[in-house]
Structure 1
Amino acid sequence: MVRRAVLAFAVTAALAGPASAAEPPPPVTAQDHVLGQADAPVTVIEYASFTCAHCAVFHNDVLPAFKARYIDTGKVRLVHRNLPTPPANVAAAAAAVAICAAPGRYFDVAEVFMRDQANLRTTGAKPWFDAGLAATGKTREQVETCLNDPATRAALQAQIAGAEAAGVEGTPTLFVNGKPVAGYSLEALSAAVDPLLRR
């Protein structure tokens, strides 16, 4: 049942291409998934896809050090938003599973999907989704109900629309206090964040 609901979850909206005059990303709201303190002086917004190999590199190799240096010390909050990439139906379904997680468990699901992303090519989607579902903190029935809720699809489509308006062309794309960062390395992020902390 859950597997059918997960795999049937597809996003009908597609990126229309970069906006002619890109805007900053939409402001952070209560609907966003935030890692770090709400009053952190710097906000990093990440647009990512659970099927994007570069996003997995960022989450697995860069984020732990960035988190220790900036997020855990109260200097930065990280906002994770979804922008599904091919296979978009799989990425969208994974995003929906994360959105449906119990309060405080979104990043647990994200960590599992990014950590195990390579398994999609070896063991297929079912074990990958099963691991993500196990990290939600909800029963399979609760997740299935959430996946079938139009509000879940609307939440994901709002993230995609925000990415489009901000001119996001690929993942991962990171913004520091509303300004795009060239690259996703720890060095690139530090170069963008550190001057803001010295003000």
Structure 2
Amino acid sequence: MKAIAGIALIALSLTLAACGKTDAGNSTAASPVDAVAAPAGTNWSSTVTATPDGNFVMGNPQAKVKLLEFASYTCSHCRDFAAEASDEIRKIVDTGKMSYELRNFVRDPIDISTSLLARCGGKDLFYPLSDQFFANQNAMFEKAQALGDAQYQQLMSAPPAQRFGQLADAIGLIDFAKQRGIAEDQAKQCLADTAAAEKLAKGVETASSEYKIEGTPTFILNGTVLENTANWATLQSKLKQAGL
């Protein structure tokens, strides 16, 4: 896949094949993992560290269990998982036993626009914004569908530095971000960052090659892809088997 040329011009689709997986499977339980207290006056779920490659890890950086999720803001299964599991994941992260990292697996131009905005406020806003963008998914889709094909194609024909900003403005994402701590000028600057958009698209290519990702959400537990895992009940069972 070529970055902007390939991913930014794909047709608008709200039911892409890359969203959705099945659930099943068991594994042998590991020994219980010991809790680790957060530094005084803090908690682990509010401790977010930026990684060298520009992603954000929530929790104890030295946690024995490391959970990585690849998710898309335009995936309904990812939305449902976030609604069901975000609070539960934070509770586990707060024990210091597990860290959690959400990586954007962008699938379409709306996903790129949303990802650019979610990352715009840096590490402290990334996770709160991600939860709120997932919760806003249905309203976002309604506005996107109301555009119609002609207006959408017109937006997609804009120069790369204007494309995602115009799309985000048209479907209310800039106003949504403004109400949640991202200044309008800052939002527009982030949406015009073609290098960041290219990096998101490249990340999909890299993740697909490294982990053979076939759908979202996909979970990586201590470096191993969790097959047939897409909902909280299944993931929770596998976390317990990992000693949590």
Task: Give the 4+ runs in structure 1 shifted more than 3 A.
Answer: 10-14, 121-125
Does structure 2 retain, via aligned residues, the 8 Å contact 1:117–1:128?
A: no
Say if 1:195 and 1:104 are closer, same or farther in 2 by CA, change over 3 A.
same
Cα shift at 1:189: 1.8
Q: How does 1:50-61 map to 2 (within 5 A)?
A: 50-61=73-84
- Output the amino acid matched with 1:12: A
Does structure 2 retain, via aligned residues, the 8 Å contact 1:49–1:171?
A: yes
Q: Hey, what does 2:203 align to over in structure 1?
A: 159
Q: 2:242 aligns with which of 182, 185, 196?
A: 196
Which consecutive residues of structure 1, in runs of 5 or more, have no partner in the other structure? 1-9, 15-27
- Output the amino acid matched with 2:79: A
* Mapped pair 1:149 → 2:171: no
Does structure 1 retain, via aligned residues, the 8 Å contact 2:70–2:216?
A: yes
- Output the amino acid matched with 1:109: L
Does structure 2 retain, via aligned residues, the 8 Å contact 1:116–1:128?
A: no
- Output the amino acid matched with 2:177: G
Take 1:57 and 1:101, find their aligned partners in 2: how far apart are those partners? Answer: 24
Q: 1:35 aligns with which of 58, 83, 98?
A: 58
Q: Secondary structure at the match of 1:155?
A: helix
Cα shift at 1:13: 4.2
Shifted more, 182-191 versus 99-108: the winner is: 182-191
Q: Hey, what does 2:86 align to over in structure 1?
A: 63
Take 1:129 and 1:183, find their aligned partners in 2: how far apart are those partners? Answer: 33
Which consecutive residues of structure 2, in runs of 5 or more, have no partner in the other structure? 8-49, 145-169
RMSD of aligned residue pairs (Cα, Å): 2.4
Does structure 2 retain, via aligned residues, the 8 Å contact 1:75–1:197?
A: no
Q: Hey, what does 1:21 align to over in structure 2?
A: none
TM-score, reference length from structure 2: 0.63
- Paired residues, what number? 173
Take 1:57 and 1:146, find their aligned partners in 2: how far apart are those partners? Answer: 27
Identical amino acids, percent of aligned pairs: 24
Structure with higher Rg: it is 2
TM-score, reference length from structure 1: 0.76
- Output the amino acid matched with 1:91: D
Take 2:229 and 2:4, find their aligned partners in 1: how far apart are those partners? Answer: 27
Take 1:192 and 1:103, find their aligned partners in 2: how far apart are those partners? Answer: 27
* Mapped pair 1:126 → 2:126: no
